[in-house]
Amino acid sequence: MWTRLSVNGWGGLPAVFLLGAAAGGFIFGWFGDRFGRVKAMSASILTYSIFTGLGFFAQEPWHLALFRFLAALGMGGEWSLGVALVMECWPERLRPLMAGIIGAAANFGFLLIAAVSKAKEVTTDSWRWMWLVGILPALLVFFIRLFVPESERWKASISKNKNNHPLKEVFSKKLIKNTCLAICFSSIALIGTWGSVQWIPVWVDQMVGDTLPTAKSDVGMLSAMGAIIGCLAGPLIGGGIGRRPAFFMLCLSSLLVCGRSLSQWNRIWSGIQIPCFFDRNDDCRILWLVSALFT
């Protein structure tokens, strides 16, 4: 199948995944407003796990794209519902830190997958088993249903107004400005990360994959470690200088560091040098890590 999936075609897979994640946040967010955060989160995790596992059976590139889209519905849902639970159950002063922990936990998953693929090489002939690993989160549903209580604020909101229309409310004249700003700010991180950093493993594999089979896994691990540090450091920075200045500073830093790191690839394509990440230059290794940290 991979022989029929060009680099340009591969670029469609992250795009499909992002569209699915956005749609999943919308769909499962509505589900959570109507039927409860915990029930909706359980359904979103099952959706992600089931359709990720079904990727094992893909025979055509469009099969893979379809399963990625459907799995992303669940990922977008569980992310949005997890943040909603944090916002409703934790004190205001701890909410940024908890949101950072959610982000760090997600990137720990990326780190784990990269470590697994480094320990057991993933090739064009042995990639299917990685999709079966994605079934494991389904086990969390059992524990969530047993130990995670429903949001009391959601219960109170439902009891007060059983005919509420949350979607109509967030797009009402009173909230439309804040809603649009929130969508724009949330999109910055996704577009910046998936539009740049997520391409790095592919580029690395193209350049040195034949001589360094684990190069892609190494880059994935470094990106995940940087993102984990960034997720935990962001709330601390925001607590020190304020959330708006911190958001601006992190976005600006991301722009500068990514511009510096990705400029190395201009020299790669012109044939002047190989990626600096692999020439034993410790400064370049740090640069990749910092790039991931800010994105």
112, two tokens: 């784990």
Enter the pTM of the model.
0.77
Contacts of range 57-66, beta carbons closer than 8 Å, 24 or more positions apart: 58/1, 59/1, 60/1, 60/4, 61/1, 61/4, 61/5, 61/9, 64/1, 64/5, 64/13, 65/12, 65/13, 65/16
Phi, psi of 6 (to 5 degrees): -75, 175
Is 70 within the bounds of a domain? yes
Whether residue 277 lies inside any domain: the answer is no
Please indicate, yes or no, if residue 147 is contained in any of the structural domains. Answer: yes
CA angle, 110 as apex, 104 and 115 as ends, to 5°?
A: 120
Nearest alpha carbon to residue 239 among 100, 107, 83: 100
Please tell me the predicted confidence (pLDDT) of residue 47: 93
**Distance in angstroms between the alpha carbons of the first and the last residue of the chain:** 32
Give the model's pLDDT for residue 280: 43
Q: What is the pLDDT along the chain (295 residues), one digit of tens a residue?
A: 554 555 555 667 778 888 898 899 889 988 888 888 889 989 999 999 999 999 889 888 888 889 999 999 998 888 888 888 888 888 878 888 888 888 888 888 888 888 888 888 777 777 888 888 888 888 888 888 888 888 888 888 777 766 667 777 788 888 888 888 888 887 776 777 666 677 777 777 777 766 777 788 888 888 888 889 888 888 888 888 888 888 888 878 877 777 766 665 544 444 434 444 444 444 444 445 544 444 5
Say how many domains are in the chain.
Answer: 1
Residue 293 maps to a domain: no
pLDDT in tens, 242-271: 888 888 888 788 777 777 666 655 444 444
Q: How far apart are CA 295 and CA 291, in angstroms?
A: 6
Check residue 70 and give its pLDDT. 94
Q: Note whether residue 125 is domain-resident.
A: no
- Per-residue pLDDT at 209: 63
Domain that holds residue 34: 1-89+137-170
- pLDDT recorded at residue 157: 79
Note whether residue 12 is domain-resident. yes
Q: Does residue 80 form part of some domain?
A: yes
Q: Does 143 map to a domain?
A: yes
pLDDT in tens, 194-205: 666 777 777 777
